[in-house]
Structures are given as C-alpha cells and as structure tokens.
Structure 1
Amino acid sequence: MASTTATSDDLPQAPAPTETAANMPGFAPPNRALTTIGLALASFMQVLDTTIANVSLPTISGNLGGSASQATWVITSFAVSTAIALPLTGWLARRFGERKLFMWSTMAFVIASFLCGIANSMGLLVTARALQGLVAGPMYPITQALLLSIYPPAKRGQAIALLAMVTVVAPIAGPILGGWITDNYSWEWIFFINIPLGIFSSLVVGSQLKGRPEKLEKPKMDYVGLATLVLGVGALQLLLDLGNDEDWFNSSHMVALAIIAVISLVVFVIWELTDEDPIVNLRLFRHRNFTAGTIAMVLAYSAFFAVGILVPLWLQRNLGYSAIWAGLATAPIGILPVMIAPIIGKHGNKVDLRILASGAFIVMAFTSFLRSHFNLDVDFNHIATIQLMQGLGVALFFMPVLQILLSDLEPHEIAAGSGLSTFLRTLGGSFAASLTTYAWTQRSAVHHAQLTEHIPATDPAMLQTIAQYGAGDVQRGAMVLNGMITQQSMQIGFNEIFHLLGIIFLAVIAVVWIAKPPFGAKGGAAAAGGH
C-alpha cells in the first residue's frame, strides 16, 4: 500500500500523493537505449568543446586577424561562462524542470555553435563562445540527473560509468579531432559538427522523456547570490587564465582581480548559507558522502587534469612532437576506460566503492611516479604505454567517486548536487592548469640557474668545449649549450611535478574513506519499489 505522506517530489497536477515521483514504480522511457544514446551524445558534445578548439587556435587567429593572446580568449570565454552557469543548474531545474532544461540547453548550444562557425571576427567568435559556455553549464549535471532517473538502482552504476567514459574520452578526442578537421576541412567545422548531434539529442531525449514526473517550483531569484557568483567566479577564472602571462601578483590587474574574487566569493558563501532560497544550495555539504566524494573528486580530477595539461606540453616543448602526434601519444589513456567502464558499471557495486576508488588512485599515483623518471630520450611507445596504464586508473576512478558523492543526496537534490560538484571539479581543473604551468616554469628557471652556476665560463678548457658545440664559434656554442641546459632544467621540473602529483593521488585515498556505505542512491529504493 502506497504511503499517504506527501514528499518533496509531489507532482503539481497529481490528484493524490500516490502519484508522486518518489512513490511511483519509476519512470521508464519507451526506449531506454535510445534515450541513453541521446544523453551521452549531448554530454560528449559539451565536454568535447572544452578542448576541440585548442589545436586550431593558430589557424583561427590567422584567419580572423587576431593575435595569439586574443585567440586564447576563445578558450577562456567558454571556460568562464561554463563555470558561472554550472552552479545555477539546481535553480534552473527547479524552475523549469530537468527535461525542458536539457532540451533548451542543448538547442541553445546548437545555435551558439552555429554562431561560432559563422563568426567573421575574433570579437564575434569570443562572444559566441561565451554564449556557448553559458548554455553548456547545465548540460552535464542535468544529463547525469536524467540518466540516473531512467535506470533502476541496480543499474545506476552502469549509467554513471557511461558518463565517466564520456568525461575521459571526449577531452582526449578533442585535440585530435580538432586538428584533423582543421587540417582537412576548415576550422568552422569544429563547431558545425555540433549542429546535427545537438538536434538529434534534444529531439530524442525530449520525446523519450515526455510525461516524466517532475515537480516544478517558482523559487525567487537570488540576485545577491547571482551577482556575487558571477563576479567571484568570473574574476577568479580570469585570474587563473591570465596569471601566467601577467606575472601574477606583480601585475596590478591581477591584484585587483584577486581582491574582487575573494570579497565576492566570501560574500557569496555567507549569503547562500543564510538565505532561505539560495541560488546555489551549499547546504548539500551537510551530507557526509557528498562532502567526502566532492573533495576527493576535486583533488583527484585536478591532479588528473594537470597530467592532461603537462604531458602534451612536454611532448611538444621538450621532445618536439607536433600537436597531432602529441595527441596520439596521449590518446591511449582512453582505451581501457572504453573497454572496462561497462564492466565496472555492471559489477562495481558488488565491492566496496572505496576499494575501487583507492585502486584507481594507486594506479594513477604509480603512473605519475613512472613519469617522474622520464628523460629526453624516452620513446613514443614508452610514453603511450604509461598513458595506457593510467587508463586503468581512470576507468576505476569516476564511477565509484561519482556514485559515492551522489549516494546520500535526496532524489530532488541530485541535479543541484551534480551541478555543484561539477562546478568545483571544473574550478579545480582551472586551478591545476594554471598552477601546473606556473610551477613548471618556476622550477625550470630554478634548475637552469643551478646548472649554469657550476659552469666555469672563464676556464680555457670549458671555452674550448663550448666552441666545439658551435663548430668553432664560442658565441654560437654558448647558445647551443644554453638550449641543452634549458631542456634539461625543464625535464627536471617536469619530473618534480609528477612526483608531487603521485603523492597527491595517494593522499586522496584517505579522503575517500571518510565516506560511509551504503552507496546506493537514496532515491533508488523509492524509485524502484516504493519503500
């Protein structure tokens, strides 16, 4: 007999509480496989666009008459807008419903992609990319919430594993696909390919989920929260993106951005914790598993993102790889997640998810320590093999940690929780990208100074050796020797950073074990059987 107690998921039009989303046997679309494909494609498209333009920036700036620094705004504008929009997912879902939010966001992403493709100036392209990032923000968390809602509890691990696979493969495919499209067609097509994918996803998911029970609310707009969020996140993202070029806090602009970010975010946190109807529900951190899982996700993803930034840069700067070959050398990291993720999703819940996550971090730490012993003579096969090995860690990482952090959320909190954790994960990745490149530059400079101070520049034997490097010309030989020292100092800096990343991965294991089972979603039993 169904409960007569109303829940937070009551439908506005329901004639009786027995027709609530929480008490129903669970909504199932007419074709679950087709719905899953539509949701996965949308997520793939959105994550792909975070990296697909990276290798095309020189071509884009050349065609549109922009400088290299202007071209980076094609990436930055997307990142800033996405970071701002992500935490709004929960509020938008409550106001408009998850199904409509997905459809509108996906179709708006299609329109923004079209505008990117037809842009005839750098200013228009950056504006279109900002719009694209703004509407992309809710897509991943709302996809996650919808995907979980159409699977019974026993199969939700498989749904999360699918999203995890997309999250890993799409950023890897981005640079390779972007480079291939730019070389063989034109850069506009890196945006135009979104149009058929987005239309298909929106129409399929919209039709398949028609009639899905949802509770709509009319939460008041939290203008103070929204304003401080936009100011704080926008300033912080700009600080992270431009810090290296502007010499960080030696620039008055960077100091101003830091002050704006700190004040805005402090006010934002205080306001959101005390407001009755916050635009971002920070009270989700009252859940133990959500807190532990989110911290683990942010730390581990930041370290993982740092690997993804540093290895391709090192391949191109130190080993002389082209962008495409650097992409090919790093691509094997996606092989094992594609092969293993479905197995992990199906059988992962049979073991303690903390054990799976710990195994993931051990593998990722091990591969980081292996990279900390790289030298300038390392070959393609060795690099690709370690990337392949790390793929095992990646395959074991996302599904367990995602399931842990969502496990103690109420059903109506999943969209907001997913949006908040994804926002913090994205912000962590931005921190990692900026801090990693900064640390590499700084440590390389330190080691360059240490190596050169031991060279006796006035010693006749040393001058003769230097002259030999330059075919008898001391000045040319000094340039050659300086280049060799620079390469070696960059290599030492690279090795040091990877040793630190290995330690970070091991430290995350302790965070995961703060979470407590069971790790089945709270909405699972209710959705499945009306308990």
Structure 2
Amino acid sequence: MNVLDITIVNVALPHMEGSLHANSNQITWALTTYMLAMVIVTPLTGLLVERFGQRQLILWSVAGFLVCSVMSGQSHSLTEIVFWRFMQGALGASLVPVGQAILVEAYPREKRGVAMATLGMGTMLGPIVGPVLGGYLTQDLSWRWCFYVNIPIGLIAFTMLLLYIPSFGKSEHPRPIDWLGFMWMAIGLGALQMMLSLGDQDGWLSSRFIIILMLLAGMGILLFVLRSLNVSHPLVNLRLLKDRSLTLGSAGIGLFGLALYGTMVILPIYLQDYMGYEAQTAGLVMAPQGIGSWVSMWMAGRLLNRGANPRWMILAGVGLGATGTWLSLSYNLQVNPFWIIWPGVIRGLGLGLVSIPLFTLAFATLSKEQTPEGSGIFNLMRNLGGSVGIAIISTIMTEEAQEAWNQMGGHINPFSAALPRYLRDAGLHQGTLAWQVLGQTLAQHAAMRGILDAFTFLFWSFIAVILIVLLMKNKA
C-alpha cells in the first residue's frame, strides 16, 4: 500500500484536475505532499518505536493509512486532497522500516534472506503495478478508486498484524523529543523534497522559489546534522552512520531507488506519449520487469539462506541491470514491444538481485536494538534516491529534448536541399500543413533523444553501485 500510492496516483492526476477544480501544476501537490510527509517522518521510526513499540506503531500506521485513503477518495477540493495525502504519507512512512525491523527481530540471521525477499517482493510490486492498476481503475471506474483500492488490502493486513505480531521494541525510558532538531530536520528535508518535486516544472535556478527552497534545504540539513551530533538524545541517531556497512548500504539503496523510480518515469512517458500505447497496454509491457524482479528476489532470499556471498549477488544484479538498460539505448519510435519487454525483464532480474543482499550487508553489523533506527535511515535514502532520480530524469528529458530540437531544427529551413525531397516522398507540399507535420516529427525525435540520454544516465547509476559494493565489508 505504501509504495503503491506513490505511483498509482500519477496516472489519475489528469482526471483529478476537473473534479478538484485544479490546474496541471496545482494537482501535482497531491503527489508532492505525500512524498514530503514520508521523507520527514521516515527517519523518526526509531524514536516512534521506542515510545510506542513496533506492534502499536504498525497497527496505528495501517489504520491511519486506511482512514486517510478513504478521505482522499472522498475529497472534493484541492485543499482536502493535499491535506489527506500529507496525512496518508505521514502515517504510512513507518510501514516499510517497521516491517523490516519486525522481520529482523522475528527471524534468525540465517533465515533472514527469505523474510527480506518476501517483504522486498511486496515493496517492488508498487512501482510496477501502480501505473497499470491506476490506468484500469481510472478509466473503468473513477480516480477515487485509486485510493479505495487500499481498503480490502489494508483490512486484511490490519487483521493479520493484530493476530500475529508480538509486542516488542518499546522502551521503558524513551529518549526525550528534540523539538529543535525536529524543526531543522523538517525544514531541511521538506525543502529538499519540494525542490526535487517542483524543480523541473519551475525551471530550477531560473525560479526564485526553487532557489529559496535550495537555501532552506542546505541550512536545515546542516543545522540538523550539527544538532544531532551535539546533543545527548538526538531525534535521529546519526552516530549510527559511523557503521561503514550502514552508510555504504544506505548510499547503495539510494542509487537503487534512483534506478527503480527513474525507470518508472521514463517508460510510461515513452510508451504512452511517443509510442501511442494506452495506459493499460503500457502497464502490461512494463509488467514483465516486475515479474523479473519477483523471480530474482525469491532466488536471492534462498541463495542467502544457503550461504551465498551477498557481494557477488549484488555485482551480478548490477551487471544484469546495466545490461538491460544498455539494451534500451537502441530504442526508437518504431521499436517492437518485444524489444521493450525482454530488456525490462533483464533489468528487473538485476534490481531484484541488488536490493535484498544490499540490505543484508547494510545491517550485518547492527544490533537488533539499532535496527529500527537504522531501517529508518536506510529507507529515507531509498525515498530520497527515488526523488532525486525522478528530478534528474525529468530534467534530462526536458533539457536534452530542447537541445536536440535546436540542433535538428536548424537543418529544417526553406534553403535545405534535402527538404523538398523529403516533402515530396511524404506526399506534402510546402505550406502550413507541411510545417505542422515537420514540427510534430521534430518534437517526437527530439523527445526520443532526451529519453535515450535519460537511459544513459540510468546505465551509469547502475555502474556507480559497483564502487559502493566494493567498499563494503563482506560480512552477512
């Protein structure tokens, strides 16, 4: 539910505009505020577990998430949807890190691989299924069902948690809340998330608002770090980052989030806007990547339980992910769906082999008491990595498409010797219709250049994971 609600709403945004009396820029706040709340609350997981315990926290999180899902579906104005989406993100932020902490507590180290693989399969399901499910629900029912779909799953989850999750993790003497540290963290991470979400549409440094957000993000994060390192009871125990495995693992999962969510940005735009696929068809073409991830996660869990070396598994996953992305560099505007599907399967196999072994290495040297807080930091980096990836990919596609338009468009003019021959072969004569057709064709090919440049960036982001893995301790 938590990860699904990041991507399922993307498809519904255009349909929400009319119902909520918002324009295309305003409606993006329904997505931005959700991510904003998640980024602020995720690092607080350790503190919340100390005060309420893992059982109470995850039960209240699921219940609150369900209520906010219903209220989001019932919204009739932009203000309502923004408020309930923020609350939904805040209440759902702890679901993944607390789930990881519960599994670490419940399973012995030698069986942890399968447990994490099972959780990872659910986490990976969201970005893959989101666009497909969102397309079907929005087209056949209403955008409101993108939120109501959480109800049956959430009720099942709440019932199972109530029956089976033991109560542990609560401290008899929880540390006091550092409200000043919370203020600096909220300002820093909140401004950073807003900057990443709105930067591309506002023109980055050409926007005064984005510059202000950048300054607030830098100031807030710096003061938060200084505060956390100089008080006896910090809001988030950043001293855990002295553990090299956790630090490098968090950096690695950030790059993983960048690659995962970056791919989820490129493919829907490419398939729907330039290949002419409907949302459901595009989702079906993208689904095999998720199937590949499921298969490799299942394999990763069992290989880890049998003593496989997690470092070699990550390197194999990076190799597969980079290969699948490299094959995507040959895409064009007439490519057969088969050539989109099987590189996606290869990339999916790689993504599945990276995430679970990376978690295993990152938490190899942490105690069980440190796991909830470490998991909060780890998942914060995954979310930030996804936000950074979306921002970078969106900017690359926009900027490189504009540059390609200028480069290629310079050759289309009345004095070009090739232009009359092209128009003749296309059955066109110089005039208004011909220039319209040329403009549309130029826009498509320029956008294709931007998409290929974005895939190139993702290829190198996979390669960067290799450097991180080589620096990690080979201990699980």
Unaligned runs of 5+ in 1: 1-44, 520-531
Unaligned runs of 5+ in 2: none
1:298, distance to aligned residue in structure 2 (A): 0.9
1:194 equivalent among 140, 145, 150: 150
CA distance in 2, matches of 1:333, 1:153: 29
| Change beyond 3 A, Cα 1:351–1:471 | same
1:511 equivalent among 456, 460, 468: 468
Query: What TM-score, normalized by structure 2, do the two folds share?
Result: 0.95
The residue type equivalent to 1:489 in the other structure is A
| Change beyond 3 A, Cα 1:222–1:212 | closer
| Change beyond 3 A, Cα 1:59–1:493 | closer
Where is the helix percentage greater, Structure 1 or Structure 2?
Answer: 2
Q: Is 2:82 the partner of 1:126? A: yes
Match of 1:313 in 2: 269
1:206 equivalent among 162, 167, 170: 162
Structure 1 residue matching 2:176: 3-state secondary structure: coil
The residue type equivalent to 2:346 in the other structure is M
CA distance in 1, matches of 2:308, 2:25: 49
CA distance in 2, matches of 1:316, 1:301: 23
Structure 1 residue matching 2:360: 3-state secondary structure: helix
Structure 2 residue matching 1:215: 3-state secondary structure: coil
CA distance in 2, matches of 1:297, 1:186: 35
1:352, distance to aligned residue in structure 2 (A): 1.1
CA distance in 2, matches of 1:122, 1:211: 39
Structure 2 residue matching 1:457: 3-state secondary structure: coil
Match of 2:211 in 1: 255
CA distance in 1, matches of 2:70, 2:130: 18
CA distance in 1, matches of 2:302, 2:342: 27
Match of 1:181 in 2: 137
Match of 1:330 in 2: 286
CA distance in 2, matches of 1:154, 1:403: 11
| Contact 2:56–2:167 (CA under 8 A) maintained in structure 1 | no
| Change beyond 3 A, Cα 1:210–1:292 | closer
Q: Is 2:412 the partner of 1:451? A: no
| Superimposed CA distance per residue, residues 196-226 of structure 1 (whole angstroms, 9 cap, x where no aligned partner) | 3223322322332345475343211111111
2:47 equivalent among 88, 91, 94: 91
2:397 equivalent among 440, 456, 463: 440
1:467, distance to aligned residue in structure 2 (A): 7.0
CA distance in 1, matches of 2:326, 2:432: 38
2:251 equivalent among 281, 292, 295: 295
Match of 2:435 in 1: 478
Match of 2:197 in 1: 241
1:66, distance to aligned residue in structure 2 (A): 2.1
2:357 equivalent among 382, 397, 400: 400
1:240, distance to aligned residue in structure 2 (A): 1.2
1:362, distance to aligned residue in structure 2 (A): 0.6
CA distance in 2, matches of 1:454, 1:505: 36
| Change beyond 3 A, Cα 1:296–1:166 | same
Name the stretch that deviates more: 361-370 or 302-311: 302-311
Structure 2 residue matching 1:51: 3-state secondary structure: helix
CA distance in 1, matches of 2:438, 2:169: 70
| Contact 1:468–1:477 (CA under 8 A) maintained in structure 2 | no
- Of structures 1 and 2, the larger Rg is shown by 1
Q: Is 2:450 the partner of 1:493? A: yes
1:142, distance to aligned residue in structure 2 (A): 0.4
CA distance in 2, matches of 1:379, 1:469: 23
| Change beyond 3 A, Cα 1:193–1:304 | closer
1:346 equivalent among 302, 306, 311: 302
| Change beyond 3 A, Cα 1:219–1:459 | closer
Query: What TM-score, normalized by structure 1, do the two folds share?
Result: 0.86
| Contact 1:84–1:229 (CA under 8 A) maintained in structure 2 | yes
CA distance in 1, matches of 2:454, 2:228: 36
Q: Is 2:185 the partner of 1:229? A: yes
1:422, distance to aligned residue in structure 2 (A): 0.6
The residue type equivalent to 1:369 in the other structure is W
Paired residues in the alignment total: 475
1:195, distance to aligned residue in structure 2 (A): 2.5
CA distance in 2, matches of 1:184, 1:359: 41
The residue type equivalent to 2:292 in the other structure is L
| Superimposed CA distance per residue, residues 494-519 of structure 1 (whole angstroms, 9 cap, x where no aligned partner) | 22332232222122112112111321
Structure 2 residue matching 1:381: 3-state secondary structure: helix
| Contact 2:53–2:167 (CA under 8 A) maintained in structure 1 | no
CA distance in 2, matches of 1:495, 1:119: 39
1:493, distance to aligned residue in structure 2 (A): 2.5
The residue type equivalent to 1:117 in the other structure is G
| Change beyond 3 A, Cα 1:314–1:216 | farther
Structure 1 residue matching 2:235: 3-state secondary structure: coil
2:376 equivalent among 413, 416, 419: 419
The residue type equivalent to 2:439 in the other structure is N
Q: Is 2:347 the partner of 1:390? A: yes
Match of 2:13 in 1: 57
| Change beyond 3 A, Cα 1:346–1:466 | same
Match of 1:286 in 2: 242
CA distance in 1, matches of 2:168, 2:52: 13
| Contact 2:301–2:356 (CA under 8 A) maintained in structure 1 | yes
CA distance in 1, matches of 2:248, 2:19: 47
| Change beyond 3 A, Cα 1:460–1:177 | closer
2:110 equivalent among 154, 162, 174: 154
1:400, distance to aligned residue in structure 2 (A): 0.3
The residue type equivalent to 1:405 in the other structure is A
